[in-house]
Amino acid sequence: GNSVTQMEGPVTLSEEAFLTINCTYTATGYPSLFWYVQYPGEGLQLLLKATKADDKGSNKGFEATYRKETTSFHLEKGSVQVSDSAVYFCALMNSGGYQKVTFGTGTKLQVIP
């Protein structure tokens, strides 16, 4: 079956530090890959996505590259801000299946001034 493994949190960084949150996956076929973010008190929001191998998703300074050879989709940002403090979820979805998304456990990021 499908599964997503992401690094345990919480991750605490100083403002302007470099961020990497690791994510690896197991899936049949060719899934689409996603990063969702949940800010305090809010719902899950799609941050970025990649739908095929070697695609790079990017948004708000965050990037992730779909690496089929290593089954990974690591999230990176060059310079984090306090406003990036949130929980980040790596996820995948196979084509078909009415958008049944498989999520990781989430990684809490805290950015301190």
Partner 1 sequence: EPEVTQTPSHQVTQMGQEVILRCVPISNHLYFYWYRQILGQKVEFLVSFYNNEISEKSEIFDDQFSVERPDGSNFTLKIRSTKLEDSAMYFCASSESGGPNEKLFFGSGTQLSVL
Q: Is the dihedral of CA 63, 47, 8, 17 positive or negative?
A: positive
Size of the site for partner 1 (CB under 8 A): 27
Residue of 1, 28, 99, 113 interacting with partner 1 (CB under 8 A): 99
CB of 103 to partner 1, least distance (A): 4
Report if residue 53 touches partner 1, rule: CB under 8 A. Answer: no
Distance between CA atoms of 91 and 78, rounded to whole angstroms?
A: 22
Question: Among residues 4, 51, 46, 50, which one has the least CA distance to residue 26?
Answer: 4
Question: Among residues 24, 21, 37, which one has the least CA distance to residue 88?
Answer: 37
Report if residue 68 touches partner 1, rule: CB under 8 A. Answer: no
CB of 93 to partner 1, least distance (A): 6
Q: Which residues bind partner 1 (CB under 8 A)?
A: 4, 32, 36, 41-46, 49, 51, 89, 91, 93-106
